[in-house]
């Protein structure tokens, strides 16, 4: 795929903040801006986004090649249409048209995990392969699938929602309404829940967790678990091991359908590095269909971190002009 030269703008709309950046054609961020998300007002979100784009355009050294937006939502990227956003008041919204009218130019809109996958594929951990799966492990579990140099979006733009593949139909209820989704067992939320449950017991194994939160177990975060694991706390290492085991099993099932050449693990929990990726890799290898008689995909950590969505959104917008 050819790429238009020059700087593009990437925007990542979240529930609490709207982040934006100028991104050059090598995927490097040259300037960042951020504003708070007026999360309960669609018109205000669009106005804030338009203002952020204007600020970035004014800061660009030359013409801007395109504007791309990433958001946590069910998105028909071909039409720039948002079906549903769980953390924003967006329902059946022609977002590309609304923002495009506000800024006076075309806008590319995509799901945040799709944008992050494209960022890693073009400029990060997947830049040397044609078929890649990105799994983002954060508050929830998201995914973006690259198949033969194309994003897999599906008929209605909702493809790639791997966090809602069912692992256990009798498991806990997921925020999507179903039971036992991968997200229930392998997300940052799941890690926090497991850590708080352990810290609420009288087990001596949880002593470091209780000390970290000063006895307020509801204050324990995934970051606390990762930090303690890095310091050698056995219980925290086991919590990440459990999460990675669930994640690896789920990814093995998903690979029976997608058959990627590489799996890239991103999102906030992936900052744990091999403490998460190692157990994931082990469980994945143990449950992969045809194991021992087929090539196995690489399983690696993402390289762009929290910038992947912005870089991917800008890259998608630039390539749309090619």
State both tokens at 188. 């940052």
Residue 86's CB is within 10 A of a number of other CB atoms, namely 12
pLDDT per residue rounded down to tens, the chain (322 residues): 444 578 999 999 988 899 999 999 999 999 999 999 998 899 999 999 999 999 999 999 999 999 999 998 999 999 999 999 888 899 999 999 999 999 999 999 999 999 999 999 999 999 999 899 999 999 899 999 999 999 999 888 888 899 999 999 999 999 888 999 999 999 999 999 999 999 999 999 999 999 999 999 999 999 999 999 999 999 999 999 999 999 999 999 999 999 999 999 999 999 999 999 999 999 999 999 999 899 999 999 999 999 999 999 999 999 998 7
Q: What pTM was estimated for this model as a whole?
A: 0.91
Distance CA 97, CA 256 (A): 38
Distance CA 23, CA 159 (A): 26
State both tokens at 230. 């890095």
Q: Are 82 and 74 in contact (CB under 8 A)?
A: yes
Q: What is the pLDDT of residue 4?
A: 54
Distance CA 283, CA 247 (A): 8
**Domains, the chain:** 8-119+307-320 (3.30.420.40), 130-302 (3.30.420.40)
Q: What is the pLDDT of residue 295?
A: 92
Q: What is the pLDDT of residue 1?
A: 45
Residue 173's SS3 state is: strand
Q: Are 66 and 4 in contact (CB under 8 A)?
A: yes
Distance CA 89, CA 107 (A): 20
Long-range contacts of 168-175 (CB under 8 A, 24+ apart): 175/86, 175/140
How do 7-13 and 141-147 pair as beta strands?
Answer: unpaired
State both tokens at 126. 């997947």
Q: Could you give the angle at which helices 308-320 and 112-123 cross, rounded to 10 degrees?
A: 80
Neighbour-count burial for 202-239, b at 16+ CB within 10 Å, e otherwise: eeeebebbbebbeeebeebbbbbbbebbeeebebbbeb
């Amino acid at each position: 795929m050819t790429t238009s030269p020059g700087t593009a703008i990437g925007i990542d709309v979240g529930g609490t903040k709207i982040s934006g950046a100028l991104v050059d054609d090598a995927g490097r961020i040259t300037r960042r801006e951020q504003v708070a998300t007026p999360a309960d007002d669609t018109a205000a979100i669009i106005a804030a986004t338009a203002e952020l784009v204007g600020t970035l355009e004014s800061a660009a050294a030359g013409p801007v090649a395109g504007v791309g937006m990433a958001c946590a939502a069910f998105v028909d990227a071909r039409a720039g249409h948002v079906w549903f956003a769980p953390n924003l008041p967006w329902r059946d919204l022609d977002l590309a048209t609304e923002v495009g009218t506000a800024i006076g130019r075309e806008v590319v809109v995509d799901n945040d995990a799709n944008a992050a996958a494209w960022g890693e594929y073009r400029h990060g951990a997947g830049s040397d392969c044609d078929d890649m799966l990105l799994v983002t492990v954060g508050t929830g579990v998201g995914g973006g699938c690259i198949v033969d140099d194309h994003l897999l979006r599906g008929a209605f733009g909702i493809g790639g929602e791997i966090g809602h593949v069912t692992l256990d139909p009798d498991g806990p209820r997921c925020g999507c309404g179903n039971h036992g989704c991968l997200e229930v067992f392998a997300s940052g939320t799941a890690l926090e829940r497991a850590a708080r449950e352990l810290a609420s017991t009288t087990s001596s194994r949880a002593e470091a967790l209780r000390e970290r939160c000063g006895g307020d177990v509801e204050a324990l975060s995934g970051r606390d678990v990762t930090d303690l694991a890095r310091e050698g706390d056995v219980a925290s290492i086991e919590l990440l091991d459990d999460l990675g085991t669930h994640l690896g099993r789920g990814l093995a099932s998903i690979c029976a359908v997608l058959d990627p050449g590489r799996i890239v693990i991103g999102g906030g929990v992936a900052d744990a590095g091999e403490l998460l990726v190692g157990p994931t890799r082990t469980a994945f290898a143990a449950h992969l269909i045809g194991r021992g008689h087929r090539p196995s995909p690489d399983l690696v950590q993402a390289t762009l971190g929290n910038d992947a969505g912005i870089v991917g959104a800008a890259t998608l917008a630039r390539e749309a002009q090619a």
